[in-house]
Amino acid sequence: MQTIKKILVGFSLIFTTNLLIGQDIHFSQYFNSPLSLNPAQTGNFEGDWRAVVNYRDQWRALSNTPYRTASASYDQQLSLYNQHLSVGGYILNDRSGQALLKSNKVFVSAAIHKILNNNELTGGLQIGYAIVTLDQYSLPQDFNPTTGLYDEKSYADDRLSYLDVNFGVNWKRKINKFDLQAGLAFFHLNHPKESFFGDRSSRTPIRSVLNASAKTDLSTNLYVQPGIMLYALRGSRDLMVGSQAGFSVLGNRLNVKEIYGGLYFRATDPADALVAMLGVQIHKFAINFSYDVNVSSLKTYTNSRGAFEISIIYTSISTIIKTFTIPCERI
């Protein structure tokens, strides 16, 4: 029994070590965490303002102290000098399991929106401040086979803080029955220093994120929306691909407007998880649940249990008057 526990702890610590290198957190419901997906998603919605809450609980099967991530964001539309602008921000708190790696980040975002030949183009900039702390804890390479314990590891520091700069662009267009969207974002443009060992040459590489989706109506009340997200950081890759489907619900006392579900596959070389999602739109609230079913080599130890996520999105009505031009021959 003790051997099994050591193996499980080892896997947990190895995974945490990867987090120490990357320091990047993202959700399986990436499309429901817009400001952490792409700064150009700031203001990318129909309404005056939007508030989002996300929560993720992962690897509970491996440890009594699972990986927990929570975030909250807010963004709103602005009209300044006849320009469509938007501003927002989000906060994020992450606790990475038994290694007690804790991250607290605060970001502010701004975006400008332009319409050119029926293409809606958005550019967004994000600036943030991060505080990362690490409790004194042994890493797997410090295991002492003589004592059966982990020797203490000395760190130059157990607290990091740094500025972070992100940038992204987004494109939207409706072509026939398809609502198309694609975005490209670059994170850590300033290469912040992230090292607990006092290594000033240790800089965070730029992380790039590409996402795209195509929504189309199959009938008056039914739609499908396939999507893809590709995450790249140094030599690592994370691919998510799948689709959502939903239908409108009319005339009910609970103000339920839409019910939808989705299935996504995550590949992190090799396969990692199947993500099942279920959501409901009630009045102005969208409430979404998802679960990661682990299909990697860790499934033997986790019984295929991965992560649970919930997101709640509130979007206000739009009071901004939109103008458009109707083509007409000059008389």
The DSSP result for 212-261, as a single string, is EEEEEESSSSEEEEEEEEEEEETTEEEEEEEEEEEEE--S-TT-EEEEEE
What tokens appear for 270 in the block?
A: 């090799």
Please state, in angstroms and rounded to a whole number, the distance separating the CA atoms of residues 10 and 62.
10
Please state, in angstroms and rounded to a whole number, the distance separating the CA atoms of residues 35 and 306.
24
What pLDDT, on the 0 to 100 scale, is given for residue 148?
Answer: 55
CATH superfamily of domain region 2-315? monomeric porin ompg (2.40.160.40)
Instruction: Map out the domains of the chain as residue ranges.
Output: 2-315
What pLDDT, on the 0 to 100 scale, is given for residue 294?
Answer: 80
What pLDDT, on the 0 to 100 scale, is given for residue 321?
Answer: 60
CB 78 within 8 A of CB 70: no
pLDDT tens digits, 254-284: 789 999 999 999 887 667 789 999 999 998 9
What pLDDT, on the 0 to 100 scale, is given for residue 5?
Answer: 42
What pLDDT, on the 0 to 100 scale, is given for residue 16?
Answer: 39
What pLDDT, on the 0 to 100 scale, is given for residue 280?
Answer: 96
Please state, in angstroms and rounded to a whole number, the distance separating the CA atoms of residues 109 and 92.
14
CB 123 within 8 A of CB 112: yes
What pTM does this model have? 0.80
pLDDT tens digits, 236-258: 788 999 999 999 988 777 789 99
Please state, in angstroms and rounded to a whole number, the distance separating the CA atoms of residues 52 and 33.
7
CB 80 within 8 A of CB 87: no
What pLDDT, on the 0 to 100 scale, is given for residue 10?
Answer: 44
What count of other Cβ atoms lies within 10 Å of the Cβ of residue 262?
A: 22
**3 state DSSP class of 31:** helix
CB 77 within 8 A of CB 111: no
Angle formed at CA 88 by CA 292 and CA 42, multiple of 5 degrees: 65
CB 260 within 8 A of CB 4: no
What count of other Cβ atoms lies within 10 Å of the Cβ of residue 147?
A: 8
Pairing of strands 49-58, 305-315: antiparallel
Q: Which residues of the chain have pLDDT under 70?
A: 1-24, 59-65, 97-99, 135-157, 196-201, 269-270, 296-305, 320-331
Pairing of strands 101-116, 236-248: unpaired
What pLDDT, on the 0 to 100 scale, is given for residue 272?
Answer: 74
Q: Which residues pair with 55 in a beta bridge?
A: 70, 310
What pLDDT, on the 0 to 100 scale, is given for residue 244?
Answer: 96
| The amino acid at 23 | Q
